[in-house]
Each structure stands twice: as structure tokens, then as C-alpha cells.
Chain A
Amino acid sequence: MNRIQQKLQENKKLLSLYFTAGYPAINDTMSILQQLQDSGVDMVEIGLPFSDPLADGPTIQESSTAALKNGMTTQLLFDQLKDVRKTIDIPLIVMGYFNPMLQYGVEKFCATCAAIGIDGIIMPDLPLAEYEAEYKTIFEKHGLINVFLITPQTSDERIRQIDAASNGFIYMVSSASTTGAQSGFGNTQSDYFKRIDAMNLTNPQIVGFGISNSDTFQAATAFAKGAIIGSAFIKHISAHGANSVADFVKTIR
């Protein structure tokens, strides 16, 4: 069983954090991962920066631009992660956009992830139809879990299709928006959380986008299995430095 699947079976609400590799400094990747694990985070999304991150709000756009300026590349990230499994045992997911993966070579990208010990991939702009037609067999050959997104606008029929195509968790985007910290959730969100919960999907759901503090984490995980924090964490390390990871995690739970 894949580390993601194992983690999902634990009887607790999962906290997952996203950070952009190469930010704030080019070599912070391993140190941030170690601090995340040491502070009890359950899972990490390692962001591979892209020049045109069209599903992201200003915070992740800026961290991506800075990371690229610092010199981050796909190969450099893989080199940095080469020995990650000697020290890190929580599930790791690479999150990015499809073009850098395509240029690296989808087969080589997946093989390298598997060799390093990456457990899953999130590519928001690789949609279900293209994935199933062209790339599914490659992901599966290398034991990688592909994570799909749903939003409040996704139809029940499509959610069922995505559930059937998933074998880990469903990334439940909290609202119709790009990434970015919001201060709270309203009725729309709680109705949506309840609606999805009532569908009794095969795959557990983890909520992302707009989770920024303990309150939003509690609200998101009232129904879902876990929550992902990205922009709020990046804002924190921008303000307090790459060694302040534990301080942030403590404020969440």
C-alpha cells in the first residue's frame, strides 16, 4: 500500500501543507520538509514552480516567480530530494503544472518520482479525460497516485467519475477561486461540504484553497478527512523565515 493510502486509514483528521520548492531560498527544500515532519504535519505537497500558474492567487504566483528566479528546475528539485526517504517518512506529493512535466518527459518524471519515494502527483491542468487517455498507465506503472480536484461547481455526475478514477483522495477546492488565504467560510461552503459528505464517495476528501488558520481548518475537517494549507503557510515563512515552520503549524492544531 502506498504511503498516502496508509495515512488516509489513520483515525484522525489530516493536516497537509503546501510549499513552493526553491522559496524563500533555493536550498530550503529539505529543511522545510524536516521541520514539517517534526511538527507533526501528516502530508506535504511540494510545489514545482511554473512561470504561468493560472490556478494560483498572488501569494503562490509570487513564491513561484521568486523560486524560478532563484534557479529552481525540475531536475534540481529531484536532485534535492534524492535522499529524502532516509529522513522523511510522511507521504509526499509533487504539485505543479503539466508543461514542465511534459518537457521533462512524463515517463521519466514518473520514474524519477518513484525512485525518490514520491507517493502522488497533483497537476491541476491535466484533466481527467487527457489523463485517462494518455498518461494513466504511466502513473500506475510507477505506483503514483494521481489526485483530482473538485469544486462547488462540479456536477454530481462528474464527481462520481472522478471518484471512480481516483485511488487515494479527492482534492476538494473550497470555493470557486484561485488559491489564496481567506479569513473564513460561509454558508455556501458548509452546504457544499455537507453535500459532498452525503455522496458517500469511495475516496476520502481533503479540502484545500482558503484554509489559513485553526478556525478554517476545523470548519473544513468537520466533514472532510483533512485539509491542505498553502498560501497562508507561504505568507508565514515570507514574514518569519524558513526556520519558523513549527511556529505556524502550532497555530493550526
Chain B
Amino acid sequence: MITEPQTNYQADDRGYYGDFGGAFIPEMLYPNVEELRSQYVQIMQEPSFQKEFNQLLKDYVGRPTPLYYAERFSKKYNTKIYLKREDLCHTGAHKVNNTIGQILMAKRLGKNRIIAETGAGQHGVATATVCALMGLECIVYMGAIDIERQAPNVARMKMLGATVRPAMSGSRTLKDATNEAIRDWINNPVDTHYIIGSVVGPHPYPDMVARFQSVISEETKKQLQEVEGRENPDYVVACVGGGSNAAGLFYHYLDQPEVGIIAVEAAGKGIDTGESAATSALGREGIIHGSKTLLMQTPDGQITEPYSISAGLDYPGVGPMHANLFRTGRGEFISITDDDAMQAGLELSKLEGIIPAIETSHALAIFEERKFKPDDVIVINLSGRGDKDLNTYIEYFKL
């Protein structure tokens, strides 16, 4: 179900979240983006769309995902911690909620060719999956360096029938893969839909992706009502790369001031080391991939390359919704180093029998520095499972 709450923290009709957002796109992209912008809300609200979307989320993705009370983990930090189990989604992360929504959108727009960007490969796999499901051509752009680092996900995409094209320009990682996908869209303006992987890019993408991911907080409300007798937790916590799993968990709580919002960024080796991805701390207002938002850049406005041990968090920008949560103070932003995240990932594995994605481990690591009351109810988005990160865990812990 996609519902429509009225809040101050949502996009306005020009795609602005406060000072952030908009559509800073070259004219070559205007027809594509305008076609989407003028139709996305209406298409999403069609009963036939909702029916198909909900059916696939249930039967194919495996929703609703459990809201699990992590008893031993809670005991350790003397507070009440629930985990929203997006790691149990088909393909292993929340990313598929968005790709299911966008593939249905693409079909209704009459598109038969799908392009996507990917960093670690999670969004690429989720896109290749829905393209296989719908029988559509799929081309995934991936930085040449990431292709080397993430061989298993490259193989998965190939098994699913997708073509993986290396991005050879710039720093040859996620931002360059995104540039290549945008260039592909410029060169193929009629038959192609671009499935962006997070709440980034020009309007309407941040809002559209947030709506598709909002199923996370919609379910959380109902589930929390059943176990705690109230819909609203005291805090919602999620890691932020571009910000889609966070947008999904925050969505229905944005306008509930009693719910604290905590966004967790990757500090990498430390905020001041020059090897970090903590955009809220290190970024300034600027334009990346068609959106005005906070981004890491040189004084001259050249976009810089972030660093994190987790490939899903090393995006130099952040979605405009989150830039606005940061600027207005509605969200609390915490950054977590590689080392602290890795320890938290190991800890959850040992205490709860759940091996999280390293992205997610960042959100799990806040309890060493951020203290909560014993009766606080905290929901953490367990955005993905750790299978894809096994090599990194093995190398790091010498397993």
C-alpha cells in the first residue's frame, strides 16, 4: 500500500525538500524525466498498480518482513531494540522494494529497456532480478574498480541475464557508474527507463523511491502496535548511503515529532582522515546527479571520491530528503568508523545469529556512543544480509 501523508518533510511539487532537491538536468534528459514526473503519482495510485505491487511484494519478495525484538542485543545495551528484517527480502536487502515498484512503472510507461547503476552490486542484482521476472532487457553500469571488488554480484547479474558494463571514466566507482547510466539515458531517450537505486537523482526520483520504500515504515507501524501497543517507537535508526532504506523507515514517522530520527553515515577511517563518506559532516550544498543536496566536493566544486569499507555507503552525496532532515535538525546524524561497524556486525552475529550487511552494521554500532533509556523503543532498519560481505569480514577478522 502506498499512502499519502501530508508532512513538512516531504517533497513539494517541484521536488524540493526545503532547500534541497529539484531537477538540475540537461535538456537532453528533460523529456524522459518530465514523462516520469507528470505521471508517477497517478500511476502509483492506480488500483491495478497497487494490486500488482502488493502482490509481488508479498509472494515474490516475501513481505511483510518481520519486526524482530532482539533480546540479547537489547540486554547488552540496556534498552529495547527491534530489528526490521529487510535482510530477509528476496535478493537480501531492501533494494528490491524499489526495483519492483520501478519495473512496474517502466512497464506502464511502455519502456522495454532498463538501465541501472550499481556500487556493491546489490541494486544491480535487484534490478537484474526484476528484469528477469518481467522479461525486459537489463544493462547495469558498474565502476570498473567495483567489478573487480564484487565478483560474486557481477556473476549473479550475469546469471540473471543482465549485461554488466564497466564505467571506465573518472574514479571508476559508483558515482561514475551513475554518470554512465545517465549518459546511456541521454543516448536512448525513447525506449529506456532508468531505475535509480536510491533516493537520489533529479525529481521525481527521490520522492518516487521513498514512496516505494515507505512500505518499511508502514509495516513497522502495524507490527509495533501489535507488540508494544503503540505505532510510534521512540527512535528509528538507519544507515544512509544515498538514503533509501532510511527514507523507507523514516517515511511515516517524519511528521511525528515524538519519534526521534537517527541517520547513520560511514565515517570510514575517521571524519578527519580524508578517507570518509560522512556527507553531513564533510559536504556542502551543491549539485550531483541532477539534485541540489549536500555533497563532498573540493572548494572549486569538483565532486570528490568518498571512502568506506562498505561499498553501499560510499556515495559522495546524500538524498535531498536527508539533507533537509540534517539542516532542519529533524534528524540526528551520527557517523561510524569502519572498525566500529565491523565490530558491531560481528557482535550481532554472535548475539542474535544474524550476519548483517556491512552497511547495516554502521546503524548497529551507534550504541557505544549514543545512550538510550532502558524503556526506549528503538527500531533499526536491518537493511541487508551479510552474505555479499563475507570476503570483507573474512579479510578483516582473519576468519
Contact = CB atoms under 8 A, between A and B. Distances in A.
Interface of A: 50-55, 57-58, 61-62, 65, 68, 73-75, 97-104, 124-127, 129-130, 148-151, 153-155, 158, 173, 176-178
Interface in B261-292: 284-290
Contacts of A97: 287
A112 to B, nearest CB: 14
A9 B188 CA distance: 36
Contacts of A148: 27
A55 B28 contact: yes
A58 B169 contact: yes
B22 interface: yes
Interface of B: 14, 22-28, 30-31, 169-170, 175-176, 179, 182-183, 186-190, 284-290, 297, 299-304
A99 B28 contact: no
B31 A52 contact: no
Given A124-B27, A149-B28, A176-B28, A51 B290 contact: no
B24 A52 contact: no
Contacts of B169: 58, 61-62, 65
Given A102-B286, A178-B183, A178-B187, A74 B27 contact: no
For B14, B189, B290, the residue with the greatest tally of chain A CB atoms inside 10 Å of its CB is: B189
Given A55-B183, A65-B169, 7 more contacts: A50-B301, A52-B179, A99-B287, A102-B301, A125-B25, A129-B14, A178-B28
A98 B292 CA distance: 10
A75 B300 CA distance: 8
Given A100-B302, A104-B301, A54 B27 contact: no
Nearest to A61: B169
A186 B287 CA distance: 35
Nearest to B186: A178
Contacts of A127: 23-27, 30
Contact of B26 (A55, A73, A104): A55
A99 B300 CA distance: 9
A154 B186 CA distance: 12
Contact of A100 (B23, B31, B186, B301): B301
Nearest to A151: B28
Nearest to B33: A127
Nearest to A154: B27
17 contacts: A50-B301, A51-B170, A52-B170, A52-B289, A61-B170, A99-B286, A102-B286, A103-B300, A125-B25, A125-B26, A125-B287, A125-B290, A149-B27, A153-B30, A154-B31, A173-B27, A178-B28
A52 B30 contact: no
Contacts of A65: 169-170
A55 B184 CA distance: 10
Given A65-B170, A178-B183, A103 B27 contact: no
Given A150-B27, A154-B27, A177-B186, A130 B179 contact: no
B26 A54 contact: yes
B250 to A, nearest CB: 27
For A52, A97, A151, the residue with the greatest tally of chain B CB atoms inside 10 Å of its CB is: A52
A124 B286 contact: no
A107 B57 CA distance: 49
Contacts of B30: 127, 153-154, 158
B175 A103 contact: no
A61 B179 CA distance: 11
Nearest to A75: B300
A232 B3 CA distance: 52
Contacts of A100: 300-302
A4 to B, nearest CB: 19
Contacts of A73: 300
Given A52-B288, A103-B300, A149-B26, A177 B170 contact: no
A217 to B, nearest CB: 22
A130 B303 CA distance: 21
Nearest to B23: A127
Contacts of A103: 284, 286, 297, 299-301
Contacts of A178: 28, 183, 186-187
B287 to A, nearest CB: 4
A178 B154 CA distance: 27
Contact of B28 (A62, A130, A158, A173): A173
Contacts of B284: 103
A55 B24 contact: no
4 closest residue pairs by CB, A with B: A103-B301, A100-B301, A124-B26, A149-B27
Nearest to A158: B30
A74 B300 contact: yes
A125 B23 CA distance: 9
A151 B299 contact: no
B31 A155 contact: yes
Nearest to B28: A151
Given A99-B287, A153-B189, A176-B187, A54 B23 contact: no
Nearest to A162: B27
A180 to B, nearest CB: 10
Given A50-B302, A74-B300, A148-B27, A99 B187 contact: no
Nearest to A51: B302
B182 A54 contact: yes
B31 A153 contact: yes
A55 B187 CA distance: 10
Nearest to A103: B301
